[in-house]
Amino acid sequence: MKNKKHNKLKILNDPIYGFIQIPNTLIFDLIEHPYFQRLRRIAQMGFSNLVYPGANHTRFHHAIGCMHLMQKAVRVLRFKQVKISDEEENAIYIAILLHDIGHGAFSHALEHSIVNGISHEEISLKFMKKLNDEFNGKLDLAIEIFEGRYHRKFLCKLISSQLDIDRLDYLKRDSFYTGVTEGNISSDRLIAMMNVKDDELVIEGKGIYSVENFLIARRLMYWQVYLHKTGLVAENMLVNVLRRAKELAEKGVELYTSTSLGYFLYNKISQENFTIETLEMFSKLDDYDVMSAIKEWTNHSDKVLSLLSKMIVDRKLLRIEIQQDAFKESYLDKKLNKVSKKFDITSEESNYFVFSQQISNQAYSTNKPIYILNKKGKLMDIAKASDQLNLQALTNPVVKYFICYPK
Amino acid sequence: MKNKKHNKLKILNDPIYGFIQIPNTLIFDLIEHPYFQRLRRIAQMGFSNLVYPGANHTRFHHAIGCMHLMQKAVRVLRFKQVKISDEEENAIYIAILLHDIGHGAFSHALEHSIVNGISHEEISLKFMKKLNDEFNGKLDLAIEIFEGRYHRKFLCKLISSQLDIDRLDYLKRDSFYTGVTEGNISSDRLIAMMNVKDDELVIEGKGIYSVENFLIARRLMYWQVYLHKTGLVAENMLVNVLRRAKELAEKGVELYTSTSLGYFLYNKISQENFTIETLEMFSKLDDYDVMSAIKEWTNHSDKVLSLLSKMIVDRKLLRIEIQQDAFKESYLDKKLNKVSKKFDITSEESNYFVFSQQISNQAYSTNKPIYILNKKGKLMDIAKASDQLNLQALTNPVVKYFICYPK
Amino acid sequence: MKNKKHNKLKILNDPIYGFIQIPNTLIFDLIEHPYFQRLRRIAQMGFSNLVYPGANHTRFHHAIGCMHLMQKAVRVLRFKQVKISDEEENAIYIAILLHDIGHGAFSHALEHSIVNGISHEEISLKFMKKLNDEFNGKLDLAIEIFEGRYHRKFLCKLISSQLDIDRLDYLKRDSFYTGVTEGNISSDRLIAMMNVKDDELVIEGKGIYSVENFLIARRLMYWQVYLHKTGLVAENMLVNVLRRAKELAEKGVELYTSTSLGYFLYNKISQENFTIETLEMFSKLDDYDVMSAIKEWTNHSDKVLSLLSKMIVDRKLLRIEIQQDAFKESYLDKKLNKVSKKFDITSEESNYFVFSQQISNQAYSTNKPIYILNKKGKLMDIAKASDQLNLQALTNPVVKYFICYPK
Amino acid sequence: MKNKKHNKLKILNDPIYGFIQIPNTLIFDLIEHPYFQRLRRIAQMGFSNLVYPGANHTRFHHAIGCMHLMQKAVRVLRFKQVKISDEEENAIYIAILLHDIGHGAFSHALEHSIVNGISHEEISLKFMKKLNDEFNGKLDLAIEIFEGRYHRKFLCKLISSQLDIDRLDYLKRDSFYTGVTEGNISSDRLIAMMNVKDDELVIEGKGIYSVENFLIARRLMYWQVYLHKTGLVAENMLVNVLRRAKELAEKGVELYTSTSLGYFLYNKISQENFTIETLEMFSKLDDYDVMSAIKEWTNHSDKVLSLLSKMIVDRKLLRIEIQQDAFKESYLDKKLNKVSKKFDITSEESNYFVFSQQISNQAYSTNKPIYILNKKGKLMDIAKASDQLNLQALTNPVVKYFICYPK
């Protein structure tokens, strides 16, 4: 028995952090659970690997990495005499491990197509509650913290805030796997500078430049990676192909799909009717269902579906233009007409190939600020503590517009 | 026009090498070809990500990485006054880029299950010939070199030998993504030490320790990574689930599969009847077809198929034992009987869950040696040039035996 | 002969870039010259290793690294059809290799103490002219470029501008050796984005975020590393100990010094009387002369000299306070008085232990802007091209004040 | 007070490990001690930076790095239920921190020239005893462990054995700073595989390939780095220049030296008369004393001294030949004669410029083996546990011979 227990306390390799220790058997069992194993089959960055071929890392690894950084944070805070009970420690490990468990295939595409009306955070919560049942209430505190209801706010902030452990891992990880070295933040230093003051998670004064750098690096990652134009096209084409499939499904057209993907195509799922059965179906759905369906749809008789699918599979993506101002209606119409003729499809159908949207990124929000602990022991919003960088400017969301259309 | 050409000469990010330059438009077009894009959907290390969660890199990235190292090799050799014509240069870029294009889903599993009787090298060649047709004979020389027929042998050795560019990339890449840092070889130094003497690819004398290290690192990667016991189990279970599917298909049982996977399950494909149509079907087949089918098979009525599938998807793998000697027949029989009873299946079917095999690795072969160029300008087999390490011992294949069975 | 030539074209190891190739024999001979070898004995970051113990890299390695990056820049620009003649190529290699050859011991300390009135750039030029004599005028063009007189301005900008090769190496290198990972810029990407438009060195539009990141990283390195408070104290104490020594020397007090250090202590050197002999003496002077003298001075009879020396050697540094506003005269006086009593020294002598200064850093200057090449082929100052970051704010120098005094 | 204590528990940056935590105030105070600070001025790899320009790291950083790895080892072992008391923990931190404190300038050169008859380990012990006095016996246990007298042998083995923490840091560190990536061992994995069985430090069975790799990497580092021919020449010339200086000193010739270097040149120091005063003098002696003296000696009237010094300073090193067999007496004589004539020096003096020696390296010794813990819980010598690599062969010392002479 002891041996078995010992066996569960194993280590995992991480190219970024070296070895990651699984802290206890409950967490080991959560990791082993099929719900969590599913994350092995969901790419952290969706179709970004079409731009950055190294970016094939999974939600699974990200979640494990978060747990590792959280262990560091606990060590640092306890070293600074912040009291964290063993129960709280365990709860924040679980909360961070499972914070993304509700992510759908290709990370974000499903939310904007076939599983809409319910966010991945809400689904994460459903999974956590279901697991809590299976594990006899051992996730109670983790859920309380995940929902932000726990009275010790700094623990909630470690799970979700503008400088949470989630961001500390994903920025570092995405930078690592894409090879965009400028996005490389020093998670280690930021954690080493963490402290707690008046139940608020703070960064000590001398960490101010690291926080600035973190915000700027995140901004860079947004524009250079997450909103990279080729990735944007691919992501939107993915959304469109799933929307088209759902449209066809609703008309009763037969489609090659796995059982779980079919469930979400042929049923209208919303927050209201998201039952345990839905959750179970969702737990079977991953990148493989979606991509294998798209591959097969390349031969479907519906022209829109097959064309879009083929473009995705062969990486013959739509052309994209990005600019600071909205595109003129007339420009869009011209493109729509052209496509309608070229492919001999209705103007409504043309919208699957020609579309315009806005994208935006707010590098920093003063709503729930990142606090700097200054020398006098006072908390200051980083936007004010920074001597010059004018971080205030970063609170204005940058908005851009793009239009996609066939070459 | 010039602009378009310029656009093709772009760079790709690689977490390992930084930036990779695509050297010319022909190679750009080959990379863009759907045959090559398919490699984006084939994991370089198959199921090794079940052990090393970072190991999700693809055959696509490996092939691109090889091309990058080959550019370095050309620079080094030319710097040392080795004549390489522009045509030869281009040909070895193409040959190394396409050397693995015939790899099936999950890299090796298909060869041992549903596409047997023909090696991935042979399929690579078929792809190259087909592409040569499409590109009007521009791959002639690349094919000649790939087949080892070209009169300048050192160019063939760069593509295939015990110290070829393929190995220099995959050892480095696999070490990087698994996080097994000991496997990290110095591709750069080995390339810097390359030279050509009497049309033979050689390593200069002072590179001898780097070659030793390369051989030892490769050995380590074999036993610690490629033949890692958990990876072995998963790989063999994958082979078995495909074999079972093929067995059922041959009996006419209906199976959820994509068109291309179905083609290989429901037809007997061998070297003889591997037609252009077969190649086209093969070019559609990747990890997504296989994994999505296995996921769906978890609900199939055939007990063997569904059990194996479920084990794979939920990562509840068979137990494995490894030892130096073959397992006794009686031990195997005992396990078989137990499984037969436990699952209520025939003894023949039990073989899908209980099986024993041998694995072996020969760290170095003296057949086609790695040559060291000594101070006197003579070539020496590394096994003899090494002062003490007794590399001779490495020529004896290490053989181990494993047995798998349900827990 | 050919063999000897080949031998000179060797490669150097760099933990950052891997292998660095020496491009030709002239450059090999320059590197071998005692003037250049001296840089092996000058720490790139002065006393920063008292804060960051890994920061022991030398001016030698930095210069070699610059030459390596310049080779990359030439490759990139030529690939983009920018004409660079072989002569120009060689000249910018030499110019960048020698751009810092005039740096004194501990990089900056000498300029503020015993070799003042002449900048290290001016001394670099003197060295280059002397070498030009020795090498029969082969450095003519390099000097022209170094002085910014060459008609092709972009070549001069590669040597000296707000985004020159010097900065691309030292930020990366200093970040690497200090372990301050946030300072890690992507020299590779910045170089890959370089182009030339109307003889101006520009960064292509999509590199805009990398430039932003570069400026922010540089700013961070200034405040966190170059102006780190412990480093500041040490640097200023070093300046003070040398000033005291010079003061004593001028009074005829005997001091343990090497010949070359003695030369600069016992003579008044200025731009006017900086002769060839002075240059020769300067070429013998490095960190070892200074540090070994300080070590010996710990036992000197002059109290100021020995106290300061002892503090430096044993790393018992003065206390430092930093703030946004100037320190009050009265505060300084109080500290001076205290020291005067404590050490029983004159109030004038107390200034060696108690001093206040301002430090400042301007993250970006619009005087000679970094140009972004936008989509329409126009040049824009990065401060205007950046969509939001308000880089304009970075043009205001940040000024801080510090005071040092004994604990 | 608490604040002051907290201040001492700070972190240090390490480019290799990230952040290093100083575990307690006693260790902080030891690090602050001038004896330990001296290690900042001693290059870990002596003159290897003449070959590998990045190799300027110091004994100081190595010692700190060892302490960091030891903290990891303690965590791993305790996790595996190995009992280590707080006192023992502290003692092994101190023992590893101070294990090299007795190293002289340029690490090894002094031992072979002016401070001979006493090893650096013995001097380390003297320093530890002196510090123990100063710290009121708090180093008692550390000294007991350092001397190998403590009854729990595995703790002694962590400090000194064929797989001790010292080696785990220096191989990794030297590989890192030289850029010889093949020497990169996985200290993390080796530590993770550590365990204790019957009071013996062992490596768990699955770590066997990592141990093999460690031995091979160490072997590579010896031949490629530590015994690199250029480094060998420089090291021996350094020894010779010091020997010559001592010879002159013994004759009463005046030499420029610091007080501490002078002490060892003008006195005959041996194990017998190594007093507290000697220790104090030794504690002042570092690379700066030696190098600055050599620089000044370039102008000394003694031809041997000045020639050797000039060669070192300008890096115009002697030529070196290396081979498997001893050089013939006649060959040596020929070279000696030539030098004697060329420089117009006595034949005895010629020995400073022409000399032959043997070098050897034993990659592994079975005397005090590295133990592998096999599946059955038995200890096996790695040389026998390794399935094939024939590590036995590594127990034969490799011997080579070199000869140096002027070009």
- pLDDT at residue C390, rounded to an integer: 65
Q: Which helix (H) or strand (E) holds B98?
A: helix B86-98
Query: Does B72 contact chain C (CB < 8 Å)?
Result: no
Which pLDDT belongs to residue D2? 38
B257 and B110 within one domain: no
- State how far the Cα of A333 lies from the Cα of A351, in Å rounded to an integer: 10
Tokens of C41: 């004995």
> A13-58: per-residue pLDDT in tens?
999 999 999 999 999 999 999 999 999 999 999 999 999 999 999 9
Chain B, 129 to 168: residues with Cβ < 8 Å from chain A are none
Q: Is residue C399 part of a domain?
A: no
Q: In sequence order, what are the residues at sequence separation of 6 or more whose Cβ sits closer than 8 angstroms to the Cβ of residue C404?
A: C233, C236, C237, C318, C319, C320, C353, C354, C355, C356
- The domain of B288 spans 229-360
B70 touches B55 (CB < 8 A): no
Least confident stretch, A252-256, A266-270, D69-73: A266-270
- Say which amino acid occupies A288: Y
Residue B270, pLDDT score: 85
Residue among B36, B46, B37, B160 at smallest CA distance from B98: B36
Considering its fold, how many domains does chain C have in total? Answer: 2
Residue type, position C267, single letter: N
Nearest CA in chain B to D220: B209
Q: Which two tokens stand for residue D193?
A: 């595989």
Give the pLDDT score at A354.
98
Q: What are the chain A neighbours of D79 within 8 Å (beta carbons)?
A: 9, 21
Contact C189/B79, CB-based, under 8 Å? no
In contact, A383 and A392? CB cutoff 8 Å: yes
Among candidates A216, A390, A396 on the partner chain, residue whose Cβ is nearest the Cβ of C213: A216
Which of A217, A389, A396 is the closest to C388 by Cβ?
A396
Q: What is the CA radius of gyration of chain C?
A: 23
Kindly state whether A395 is in contact with chain C, defined as any CB-CB distance less than 8 angstroms.
Answer: no
Residues C180 and C212 in one domain: yes
| pLDDT number for residue D1 | 30
Q: Are residues C237 and C159 in the same domain?
A: no
Question: Worst-scoring range by mean pLDDT, A29-33, C80-84, C268-272?
Answer: C268-272
Q: Quote the strand ranges of A27-147, DSSP E.
A: none
Other beta carbons within 10 Å of B140 = 13
Q: Which of B197, B220, B243 is the last residue of a domain?
A: B220
Give the C-alpha distances (Å, rounded to integers) separating B397 from B215, B358, C178, C235: 13, 12, 46, 61
Find the CB nearest B314 among A34, A54, A296: A34
**What average pLDDT does this structure show over B301-324?**
96
Which residues, at least 6 apart from B259, have a Cβ–Cβ distance to it below 8 Å?
A296, A299, B281, B284
Closest CA to B105 of B306, B294, B335: B294
Q: How long is chain B?
A: 407
Residue with tokens 């027929």: B149
> Are both A46 and A182 inside the same structural domain?
yes
Over range B94-104, report the average pLDDT: 96
Same domain, B199 and B306: no
Last residue of a domain, one of B199, B220, B241: B220
Beta bridge partners of C341: none
The DSSP symbol for B317 reads: P
| pLDDT (tens digit per residue) in B14-69 | 999 999 999 999 999 999 999 999 999 999 999 999 999 999 999 999 999 999 99
* Beta strand pairing call for B200-204 and B371-373: parallel
* CB spacing of A19 vs D79 below 8 angstroms: no
- SS3 call for A204: strand
CA distances (Å), origin A72, targets A19, A66, A144: 13, 10, 22
Q: Which residue of chain D has the CA closest to A75? A: D21
* Chain C partners within 8 Å of D56 (Cβ): 56-58
Instruction: Tell me what the mean pLDDT of segment B398-402 comes to.
Output: 92
Beta-carbon separation of B79 and C9 below 8 A: yes
Q: Are C298 and C320 part of one and the same domain?
A: yes
> Which chain D residues are Cβ-neighbours of B214 within 8 angstroms?
182
Determine the 3-state secondary structure of A101 from DSSP.
coil
Q: Do C13 and D295 touch (CB under 8 A)?
A: no
Residues C40, C128, single domain; the answer is: yes
CA B6 → CA A148, B23, B143, C192, C372, distances in Å?
52, 11, 27, 14, 19
Record: contact C258-D296, CB cut-off 8 A: yes
- CA D274, CA D278: separation in Å to the nearest integer? 5
Q: Which spans in B222-364 are helix H?
A: 229-250, 259-266, 276-282, 287-297, 303-313, 329-343, 347-350
> Looking at residue A263, which CATH number applies to its domain?
1.20.1250.30
**Which of B395, B256, B236 has the alpha carbon at shortest distance from B322?**
B236
Do residue A37 and residue B314 have CB atoms under 8 angstroms apart? yes
Does C327 reach chain A within 8 Å, measured CB to CB? no
Got the DSSP string for D155-209? HHHHHSSTT-HHHHHHHHHHHHHHT-GGG---HHHHHHTEEEETTEEEEEGGGHH
- Contact of B296 with chain C, judged by CB distance below 8 Å, is answered with no
Does any domain span residue A396?
Answer: no
Tokens read off for D146: 């350092």
Q: Which two tokens stand for residue C142?
A: 């390099």
Count of positions (residues) in chain C: 407
C258 touches D: beta carbon within 8 Å: yes
CA–CA distance, A402 with C260 (Å, rounded to integer): 66
**Residue C245 φ then ψ, to 5°:** -60, -45
Rounded CA separation D181/C15 (Å): 8
Tell me the C-alpha distance between A212 and C215, whole Å: 12
Taking contacts as CB-CB distances below 8 angstroms, the residues of chain A near C217 are: 182, 213
CB contact under 8 A, A192 and D9: no
Query: Averaged over B376-393, what is the pLDDT?
Result: 80
Query: What SS3 class is residue A399?
Result: strand
Q: What is the pLDDT of residue C109?
A: 79
Whether C325 has its CB under 8 Å from any CB of chain A: the answer is: no
Smallest CA–CA distance from D399 into chain B, residue:
B387
In chain A, what residues touch B41 (CB-CB under 8 Å)? 291
Q: Which residues of C touch A217 (CB under 8 A)?
A: 182, 213
Residues in chain D: 407
Least confident range of A4-13, A270-279, D73-82: A4-13
- What's the confidence (pLDDT) of residue A3? 43
**What is the per-residue pLDDT for D366?**
85
The dihedrals phi and psi of A86, each to the nearest 5 degrees, come to: -60, -35
Q: Mark yes or no for CB contact B192/C19 under 8 Å.
A: yes
Q: Does B11 touch chain C (CB under 8 A)?
A: yes
Q: pTM higher than 0.90 for the full model?
A: yes
Q: Quick one: pLDDT at residue C348?
A: 94
Point out the residue among D213, D219, D387 whose CB comes nearest to the CB of B217: D213
Closest to B92 (Cα-Cα) out of B41, B180, B38, B157: B157
Please, is A112 exposed, middle or buried when counting C-beta atoms within 10 Å of its C-beta (0-12, 13-18, 19+)? middle
Residue A406 domain-assigned (yes or no): no
Same domain for B241 and B347, yes or no, is: yes
Nearest chain D CA: its distance from C225 CA (Å): 12
**Interfacial D residues in 165-194 facing B (CB < 8 Å):** 180-182, 184-186, 188-189
Model confidence pLDDT, tens digit, residues B200-218: 999 999 888 889 889 989 9
What confidence category does residue A7 fall into, taking pLDDT thresholds of 50, 70 and 90? low
CA distance B354 to B340: 10
- Which pLDDT tens digit goes with each residue over B347-375? 999 999 999 999 998 889 888 899 999 88
Find all residues with CB under 8 Å of A16, minimum gap 6, and list them: A65, A172, A173, A176, B54
* C110 & C55 share domain: yes
- How confident is the model at residue B3, as a pLDDT? 43
What tokens were used for A91?
A: 């709860």
- Asked if C45 has any chain D CB less than 8 Å from its own CB, the reply is no
Highest-scoring range by mean pLDDT, A318-332, C370-384, C393-407: A318-332
For D:194-213, CB contacts with B below 8 A are 209-210, 212-213
Q: Is residue C395 part of a domain?
A: no
Residue A161 has pLDDT above 90, yes or no: yes
Q: Does D291 touch chain C (CB under 8 A)?
A: yes
**Segment C46-65 mean pLDDT:** 97
- Per-residue model confidence (pLDDT) at position C396: 83
Strands of the sheet with D319-323, listed across from one edge: D319-323, D398-405, D355-361
D85 occurs within a structural domain = yes
* Binary contact (D324, B388; C-beta < 8 A): no
Residues of B in contact with D220 (CB under 8 A): 209-210, 212-213
CA atoms within 13 A on the CB side of D187: 26
- Across D35-67, b (16+ Cβ under 10 Å) vs e yields bbbbbbbbbbbbbbbbbbbbbbbbbbbbbbbbb
Q: How far apart are CA A144 and CA B10, in angstroms?
A: 49
Among A162-171, B365-374, D334-343, name the one with the lowest average pLDDT.
B365-374
Q: Establish if C377 belongs to a structural domain.
A: no
CATH number, domain at A73?
1.10.3210.10
Spell out the residues 6+ positions from residue C309 whose beta carbon is closer than 8 angstroms to its own. Answer: C241, C294, C295, C297, C298, C300
CB C294 within 8 A of CB C309: yes
Q: Are B58 and B129 members of one domain?
A: yes
Q: Does B5 touch chain C (CB under 8 A)?
A: no
pLDDT of residue D354: 98
Long-range contacts from A202-206, C-beta under 8 angstroms, 24+ separation: A202/A371, A202/A372, A202/A373, A202/A379, A203/A163, A203/A370, A203/A371, A203/A372, A203/A373, A203/A382, A204/A372, A204/A373, A205/A372, A205/A373, A205/A374, A205/A375, A205/A385
Range picked from A354-363, B166-175, C366-375, D217-226 for highest mean pLDDT: B166-175
Q: Are strands B355-361 and B398-405 parallel, antiparallel or unpaired?
A: antiparallel
Return the sign of the alpha-carbon dihedral for residues C165, C167, C170, C174. negative
With CB atoms and an 8 Å threshold, state whether B398 touches D390: no
Q: Identity (one letter) of the amino acid at B332?
A: L
**pLDDT tens digit string along A80-91?**
999 999 999 999
Q: What is the mean pLDDT of chain B?
A: 93
The answer to whether residues C10 and C132 belong to one domain is: yes
Q: Decide if pLDDT at C154 tops 80.
A: yes
| Helical pair A259-266 and A229-250, crossing angle rounded to 10 deg | 70
Whether A16 is covered by a domain: the verdict is: yes
Provide CB contacts within 8 A for B7, sequence distance 6+.
Answer: none
- Distance CA(A201)–CA(A165), nearest Å, equals 12
Is B334 in the same domain as B245? yes
**Residue D365: how many CB atoms within 10 A of its CB?**
13
- The answer to the question of residue D235 being in a domain is no
